Structure 1
Amino acid sequence: MGRYIVSRTPRAMKRMNKRLILATIREKQPISRADIAEITLLSRTTVSQLIDELLEEGVVKETGTGVSPTQGGRRPVLLSIVEDAAFVCGIDIGGSQITTVICNLSGRILCKEVIPTCSDLLSLFQWVEHFLGRAPIPTDRLIGFGVGTPGITRFEDGMVLSAPSLGWTDLPLKAEMERRFHLPVYVENDVNVAALGECWRGAGEGKQHVVMITIGTGIGCGLILNGELYRGCHWASGEFGFMVTDSQAIDHWNDPVVTGFGYLESRAGCPAILRQYQRRVRNPAITDAKVVFDRWRRGDEVAGQVIQEAKRHVAAGIINTVALVDPEVVILGGRLMNSRDLFLPQIVKSVKRLAPIQTEIRVSQLGADAGALGAGALVLREHDCPYQGVL
C-alpha cells in the first residue's frame, strides 16, 4: 500500500509558509502582519521575514495603515497583493472554439479573443503568438500558460491521452508548447479548468466541495474536493458523459453520437439532441441543436419529447453524482445552458425529489470564460514561483 511522503526540508517549509501567507493576504486584504501571524499560527518573526521577501519580489505591497491596537502603540501597516505583478495566459480549447485570455493575479481578464477550433499544433501555436503580440502587458511578466483540452489528459506530463473531438491521441502538448514558447505550460481537462475558474471568480467562489458539469458538444465534469482538483487514478475522473443512465443500455447499447463518446453524452449533449430530432422528423438538413430548442418554444411536440428525454438523462447523472460526492454546490455550464429556461427547472425539481441531500444547483457565472480563466488559475496553483499562493 502506497503512502504520501511530505517534504519537510527548510526550503519546502519556507515555500509552504510563503504560500500560506499569500493565500491569507488574498483572502483578507488589506491585512497587517500581526493579523497574518494570528490567522496562520506562524511566528511574527517568520511572517515579517517572509513578508519582507515578498515585498522585495514585488508580489505584495503596503497599502496604508490600520487602526491602532487597543493597548496603544503604532498603527499597523496593511498589506495587499500586487495584482499586476505578473500575468498568466489561459487557453480553453473547445470542440468548436478556442478562447484565449490574459489575466492578472486577481483573476481580472485584461484581454480575450475567440477563434474557431484548430486541431493542428502549428496553427494553434501561430495563433497564440499572434494573440500575445497584441496583448497589453509587458511580456516579461508572463509567467506561464494553462491549457484546457477536451478528453483525458495526464496532468503530470501534459500528455493529451484522448481527445476524440480534436482527433488527438497521446499528444505531448505540454512538451511541444514549452519547446515553442520557453515558459511553463500546464495542461488539464477542459471541464477541470472550468471548475477552477468558477471556484476562483464565479459560482463556486468560497466553496470547498464543488461539482462542475458542462453540457455542450460532449458532457464533462470537474470535481473540487476539499478545495483540491480531483483527477483520479487514471486521470479520467469526471467523465460524466460516460455515465449509463438507462439499465437497458448495459447489454445492447453501441451507438455513440461521436466516436469515443460515452452513453450519456450520446443521449443528452447538443449533437445527441440534434441527432434524435433528425431521426424522428427524418430531416437531416437541420444542423444545429439550437433549432430544436427554438422549435420547442414554438410548440413542436417532437422537439419537446427529445429535450425532455435529454433532461431526464442529465438529471439522473446529477442525482447519482450528488449521492456519491455530497458537494456543496453543483454548477452547470456549457452551451446547453443558453437554453436553461427550458432545460433547468425540471432538472432541479428531479434532483430535489430524488437526491439524498439538498445540494444547491447553480448556473455558471463565468459562462464561456470559465475554462480560459480556470486555465490561468491552474498556472497560479501549480507553478513553483513567488506567486504560488495568490489563488
Structure 2
Amino acid sequence: MRKQSVSGTPREMKRMNQRLILQTIRRKQPISRTEISEMTSISRTTVSQLIDEMMEEGVVRETGRGSSPTQGGRKPVFLSIDDDSGFVCGLDIGGSSITFVVCNLSGKVVSKEVVSTPVSLGLESLFRLIERFLDNAPVPVERLIGLGVGAPGITRFHDGVVLSAPSLGWTDLPLKEEMEDRFNLPVYVENDVNMAALGECWLGAGKGKRHVVMITVGTGIGCGLILNGDLYRGSRWASGEIGFMVTDSHAVEHWDDPVFSGFGYMESKAGGPAIARQYLRGLKDTDGTLVSNAKDIFDLWRKGDETAGAVIWEANKHLAAGIVNVVVLFDPEVVILGGGLMKSQDLLLPQILKTVKRFAPIQPEIRISQLGDDAGALGAGALVLKEHDCPYQGVL
C-alpha cells in the first residue's frame, strides 16, 4: 500500500488516520498493530490509541495471537473488523417495485424485502413501508448507520432533492430532508443507476475496478459512471442519461415519437416498452397473439416468431451503438449490463459484443450484472458507508 501523509486540523487528521487504518485492516486482516503502523507510516502510539477507541466502539476486535518474534518479546495480537458492528439500510425505488435491504459492513444481507410500488407513491406511504421493513429487520436500531435511497430520475446529491422522477410523479422533492426528519438518521439520495454502479463496484461485476460503466436496460435506459474510483454525476446531476442518445442520423430531422413523454430517442427504440410497441406495429393482424411487455416478445422469438426476432434485432442495434459511443467516450475497464432486458442476455449479448469489437478502437470487458435486481439497493447501502462522516467509511 502506498504510504500517505495527512494534513489539516487535528480532527481531520484523526478521521483520515482512522480511515487508513480501517482500510488496511480490511485488506490484510488479521493484522497486528505493528504491521498496521509499518504499512501506513502512522506512529505505533497513534495506531494503538485509535485501535483502542475503535475496539470500544465495537468496530475492531482482537482475533488471536501470533508467534513470538524470533528475538523474543510479546506475541503480536491480531485484529479484524467486526462486520456486525454497524448496519446500513438501502432502498431501490422503481416504477414497479421497491427493494429494501439491510446489510452489514461487508455487504452481507441480513434482511431483504421486495414490494410492489404503490400506484401513487407519496412520502407518507413510502415512510410506512420503510418503518415496517425496519421493524422486522433483525438489527439493533443503535447499530443502524444510515439510509441510502436510489430514485428513478435526476437527483441532486448534495441536498438529496429528487429533481425529476417521471415514473413516480416526483418533481423537486426534498427527499433527504423529509426522511432525516422522520427517521432521525443520515440519509443519502442518488439516482438509481448510479446506485447500481456503486453496488456492482462494491460486491459485484465491477469489484476491484476503478473505471466502470454500468448500463441498465429496462423501461428506460440509464448509465452510471465510476471514473477513477469516484462516481461521476455531471454539472447538473444528469450524467449517464444515455437513453437520450441519437443512434440514427435520420432521426435528427425526422424523429418525434417518444415511447413515453419525456423519454429519449434510444430508449424509445431499445427499451422494453419500445420493443413491445414496435412488435405490435409490425403485426399484419393480431391473430390472437397477446403481448403486454418485452418479455413476451423475447418468449415469442424463442418460439420462432420472425416478427419478434426482427423487432428485437433492430432494437439491439440501437443499444449496441449506444454502448460503442459510451466506450469510446470513457474508455472503461469494464462495461456492466443490467436491468430487466438483460435477463435475455443470450439473445442480446452476442450482437452487442460483435458490434463493440467492430467499431470501438478499445475493447473493455463486457459483463452482465452479478447482483441483478439487488444492485441498486446494495449500492444505496454502499453509498452510506462511503459518504457518512464516521470511521465506518474506511471499510470500503
Please indicate, yes or no, whether the TM-score normalized by the shorter chain is above 0.5: yes
Structure 1 residue aligned with 2:258, among 256, 264, 276?
256
Alpha-carbon contact 1:164-1:259 (below 8 Å) kept:
no
Choose from 210, 213, 221 the match for 1:211: 213
Q: What is the 5 A alignment of 1:112-191?
A: 112-118=112-118, 119-191=121-193
Residues in 1 aligned to 2:370 and 2:251: alpha-carbon distance in whole angstroms: 35
- Out of 266, 286, 294, the residue aligned to residue 291 of structure 2 is 286
Aligned to 2:74: 74
Amino acid at match of 2:46: T
The reply on whether 1:303 has 2:308 as its aligned counterpart is yes
Q: Post-superposition shift, 1:36? A: 2.0
Using the alignment, how far apart are the partners of 1:353 and 1:19 within structure 2?
44
Contact 1:95 1:217 in 2 (8 A): no
Count of aligned positions = 386
Unaligned runs of 5+ residues in structure 2 are: 1-5
Deviates more, 1:274-283 or 1:346-355: 274-283
How far 1:166 moved relative to its partner? 1.3
Q: Deviations over 1:33-70 (max 9, x none)?
A: 22222332323332222212211211111111235556
- Following the alignment from structure 2 to structure 1, what is the Cα–Cα distance between the partners of residues 38 and 260? 55
User: Secondary structure of 2:394's partner?
Assistant: coil
Give, in whole Å, the separation in 1 of the partners of 2:224 and 2:15: 28
Letter in 2 for 1:376: G
Contact 1:208 1:227 in 2 (8 A): yes
Question: Does structure 2 conserve the Cα–Cα contact (< 8 Å) formed by 1:91 and 1:148?
Answer: yes
The one-letter code of the counterpart of 2:104 is N
1:222-249 CA-partner distances (Å, limit 9, x unpaired):
1111111111111111112111111111
Q: Is the 8 A contact 2:15 2:390 kept in 1?
A: no
Determine whether 1:59 maps to 2:59: yes
| Alpha-carbon spacing, 1:361–1:71, altered in 2? closer, same or farther (3 Å) | farther
Structure 2 counterpart of 1:216, which letter?
G
1:335 partner letter: G
**Structure 1 contact 57–386 (Cα < 8 Å) conserved:** no
Partner Cα separation in structure 2 for residue 240 and residue 69 of structure 1: 58
Equivalent in the alignment of 1:3: none
Residues 1:320 and 2:325 aligned together: yes
Instruction: Give the direction of change, closer, same or farther, for the CA distance of 1:206–1:68 in structure 2 (3 Å limit).
Output: farther
Q: Are 2:236 and 1:234 equivalent residues in the alignment?
A: yes
Q: Which amino acid aligns with 1:102?
A: V
Separation in 2 of the partners of 1:373 and 1:77?
33
**Cα distance change, pair 79–167 in 1 and its aligned pair in 2 (3 A):** same
User: Match for residue 90 of structure 2?
Assistant: 90
- In 1, the alpha carbon distance for the partners of 2:293 and 2:90 equals 28
**Residues 301 and 308, structure 2, Cα contact 8 Å, conserved in 1:** yes
> Which runs of no fewer than 5 residues in structure 1 stay unpaired?
1-5
- Give 1:85 shift: 0.6
Match of 2:3 in 1: none
> Structure 1 residues 57-66 or 108-117, which shifts more?
57-66
Quote the residue 1:22 is aligned against. 22
Which residue of 1 is the match for residue 34 of structure 2? 34
Which letter maps to 1:219?
A: I
Contact 2:213 2:225 in 1 (8 A): yes
Residues 161 and 171 of structure 1 are in contact (CA less than 8 Å); yes or no, is this contact kept in structure 2? yes
Query: What is the percent sequence identity of the aligned residues?
Result: 73
Find the aligned partners of 1:375 and 1:150 in 2 and give their Cα distance.
Answer: 13
Q: Which amino acid aligns with 1:86?
A: G
Report the TM-score, using the length of structure 1 for normalisation: 0.95
Match for residue 46 of structure 1? 46
Asked whether the equivalents of residues 158 and 173 of structure 1 are also in contact (C-alpha less than 8 Å), the reply is: yes
Structure 2 distance, partners of 1:315, 1:67, is 57
What amino acid is the match of 2:61? K
Kindly indicate whether the alpha-carbon contact (under 8 Å) linking 1:164 and 1:261 is maintained by their aligned counterparts in 2.
no
RMSD between aligned residues: 1.6
Supply the distance in 2 between the matched residues of 1:298 and 1:72 (Cα, whole angstroms). Answer: 74
The answer as to whether partners of 1:212 and 1:222 remain within 8 angstroms in 2 is yes
Q: Say which of 273, 283, 286 aligns to 1:271.
A: 273
Structure 1 271/15 Cα, relative in aligned 2: closer, same or farther at 3 Å? Answer: same
Deviation at 1:369, TM superposition (A): 0.6
Q: Distance in 2 between matches of 1:309 and 1:46?
A: 62
